[in-house]
Structures are given as structure tokens and as C-alpha cells.
Amino acid sequence: MTQPPSFSVISGAQVHEAITGREEQVTAMIEAAYRLHGEGGTVNPDSYFLRFPDRPSSRIIALPASAKGEVDVHGIKWISSFPENVAGGLPRASAVLILNDTETGYPFACLESSIISAARTAASAALAATRLAAGRGRRVGFVGVGLIARYVHTYLAGNGFAFDELHVHDLIPEHAEGFRGYLERTEKGPVTVHDTAEELIRSSDLIVFATVAGEPHVHDPAWFSHNPLVLHVSLRDLSPEIILSSFNVVDDVEHCMKANTSPHLAEQKAGHRDFVAGTLYDVLTGAIEPPADRPTVFSPFGLGVLDLAVARYVHDRVAASGGLHTVPGFFHELKRYG
């Protein structure tokens, strides 16, 4: 009889230990996952959004996926976003990820996944920046300064970006000051906190949006007349007018044109998708490259296969170290007739 796999639980501390200081290695994993996705080696259905009528700002998202190749795993990430947590001192997002065996379908691991999610998001942004910056990136600006912004900064630095100036804007002054303190501990260049997004945008040639905005709050294309590279990680900050006047790269067109993202709103306004130049896979393969005379906007919806790639690496690294915490007897009813 085929034996089910053992089932293990991998903590956030173990995830952190497995990936910290390995920004280039994780970014290379993410590039490989994008290439696998572009070559048809993945299954990545639509994400499912669980929303709550009494808490419209909150949601829990299910991201199922399957990856062939070296990843060779099925799985699903279950990630919540409760922005009200921040006021109480908790991070906005929490997540778990389940890995399933590709032969039997049995789940074999549950991983704390907020760190995996932050790392894959940051690695995706850093990968795009390395391929799209084209000389931009000496003056970086962060709009929204939570965990994701910190991880994006870490991954940009870990992939060789060095900044002459750093700019910060957040709606909550205490958060902006806290992020400035973090940057001043890790960077040599001056850090400026801006009262408005416009000031930051006009002062930066590489702009990271990592907010919890549910709808566009930046509307004027003229703010981007200096043609910066925009890592539009939070997806809903930019007006359709800004999207339509930019060179747009996404991670997956079908995924990005949903859930009222800025590109989705631009599609609704324009009635077409011609404003999307292509995907990050197209950039990696040389099919497209950004022009110098327009802003470049990278809008990554976030693919479940990226989470699987990082989670598989973490699982295998923890297993190799002998650190897996297995749950004896997790699968119990294994005889068909008792």
C-alpha cells in the first residue's frame, strides 16, 4: 500500500532563518518560477477573495497553484489582510501555506507564510527593477511603509541597488518616522520624509507603492513627467489616466485585470488592454524593453506559483537540517473498509 507522507508544521521563525540573507538566491528562485510560468509549466487559477459585508476593508485570499520542474508541488496560500490590525500593533497580513504531494495529492506541510509572501513579493519587485531600471534607481521613494516596503528595500539592496537619496511618505506620520529610522540604520544616503505623495514622486526615479489603498489616490500623470520606474506593488494606487500614459508591465495579464486593480480600472475606462506592453516573462526573454521617454509601471498581481517556489525551498532546507516538526498520526483513516 502506498504510504501517505508525514505532515509537518514549519514556523515563521524557521522560514525567517531559511531565507534571511539570501535575497539574491530567493530572487533567482522567483525568476525561475516566472520563466516556468511563461513556458506553461504551472497551473495558476484565479485567486478567490473572501470578503465581509461588515468589514469592507478586510479580506482573506486563497491562491491555489501547481508548479512542475524543480519545484514539483501543488499547494495553496491562505492570506488575510485586516488593515485595522495596524492600529492595535499587529501586522496587517497573516498567512499559512499548504504544500501537497504531486503523486498522491496528500498535504505534507503547513508553513507560516506571511514571511514567504513578503519575500516573494519583494523578490518579484526587485527582479523587475533589475531588468527595468535602465539607469533609474539612485533616488528611491517609498509610498506606504509597512512590512512589504521593508522587504522590498531589503531585496533591492540585496540585488545590488545603492541609493544616493531615499524618500518616504505615509499617511501616518509616526509610521513614516519609524521607517526613516530603519532606513537611516541601513543606508548612507539622506532620508527625507514628505508630507505629500506628489513631493515624493517628483523627487524619486524609482518609486515603490506598498500601501493598503483600495482605490486610486494618485491621479495626475504630470507628477510622473520625469519618467520614473514605478513598482506598483499594492496595485490600486494609480489612476487609469496614469496607467494609460505609462509603459505597463504586469506579471500575468489575466490575473491583473481583476478585482479593480489600477490596470483593471484602466481597461474599463479604455475598453481594451492595448496599454499593457507585456509581462515580466516578456522582459526576461527580451521580447519587450521599456522606453526612456515614458514612465514604466510594474504591476504584479502576485502569483501563487511564486509562493510555492519559495515554500518548497524553505521546506527542503528545514528538512535537510533535521528541523521538521512532524505531527504523528495526522492522517488517521487510511483503510478503506476500516
- Say what the pLDDT of residue 137 is: 87
Euclidean distance between CA atoms 63 and 81, whole angstroms: 14
Q: Mutual orientation of helices 114-132 and 147-158 as an angle, nearest 10°?
A: 50
- Say what the pLDDT of residue 1 is: 55
Euclidean distance between CA atoms 146 and 87, whole angstroms: 12
Nearest partner of 308 among 6, 24, 1, 29, judged by Cα: 29
Neighbouring residues of 282: CB distance < 8 A, sequence distance ≥ 6: 38, 249, 288
CA atoms lying within 13 Å on the CB side of residue 94: 8
Euclidean distance between CA atoms 195 and 72, whole angstroms: 47
Nearest partner of 107 among 238, 178, 9, 239, judged by Cα: 9
Q: Do 83 and 58 meet the contact criterion of CB atoms below 8 Å apart?
A: yes
- Say what the pLDDT of residue 335 is: 81
Neighbouring residues of 231: CB distance < 8 A, sequence distance ≥ 6: 125, 128, 129, 152, 206, 207, 208, 209, 298
- Say what the pLDDT of residue 135 is: 82
CATH T-level topology, domain 121-299: Rossmann fold (3.40.50)
Check whether domain 8-116+306-326 has CATH 3.30.1780.10, yes or no = yes
**CATH topology match: 8-116+306-326 vs 121-299:** no
Intervals of the chain under pLDDT 70:
1
- CA 244 to chain centroid, in Å, comes to 23
Query: Whose grid coordinates read 504584479?
Result: 300
Residue 4, number of CB atoms within 10 A of its CB = 15
Give per-residue pLDDT as tens, 69-101.
999 999 999 999 998 998 888 888 999 999 999
Secondary structure (3-state) at 98: strand
Model pTM score: 0.94
Residue ranges of domains in the chain = 8-116+306-326, 121-299
